Amino acid sequence: MYCYKFIIRGKVQGVFYRKSIYEAAKKAGFRGYVKNLDNGDVEAVALLNEENLKEFINILKKGSPYSITENIDYTKCDKIEFLDFEIRY
């Protein structure tokens, strides 16, 4: 397992994006979090292996019916242990 940090840009705040990511990630059994950033982007951090990295990215791309995901950047980060997937404020 690796820890990945994602920055999602586009129309991703005020459109139920975090809630949609939370629900889909939790249903798929991922551990991590999603939160809004002050600049209008969204940050997501998740523990993933190589096999489910693409699945998580697809969840981020899909977002909510009202969101528009324009760009997703990601990097590996220091491993953090998570018990579940949550929305952070």
Whether the CB-CB separation of 76 and 3 falls below 8 Å is answered with yes
**Mean predicted confidence (pLDDT) in 22-38:** 98
Catalytic residue (choose from 9, 36, 49, 88): 36
**Does 58 participate in catalysis according to the annotation?**
no
CATH topology of domain 2-82: Alpha-Beta Plaits (3.30.70)
In angstroms, the CA 76 to CA 65 distance is 28
Q: What is the pLDDT of residues 31-55, one digit of tens each?
A: 999 999 999 999 999 999 988 999 9
pLDDT of 79 > 90? The answer is no
User: Which of 18, 31, 49, 52 is the catalytic position?
Assistant: 18
Residue 88 token pair: 């952070």
Domain boundaries of the chain, sorted by first residue: 2-82
Q: What CA–CA distance (Å, rounded) separates 57 from 71?
A: 11
Is 36 labeled as catalytic in the residue annotation?
A: yes
Parallel, antiparallel, or unpaired for β 31-36 and 85-88?
parallel
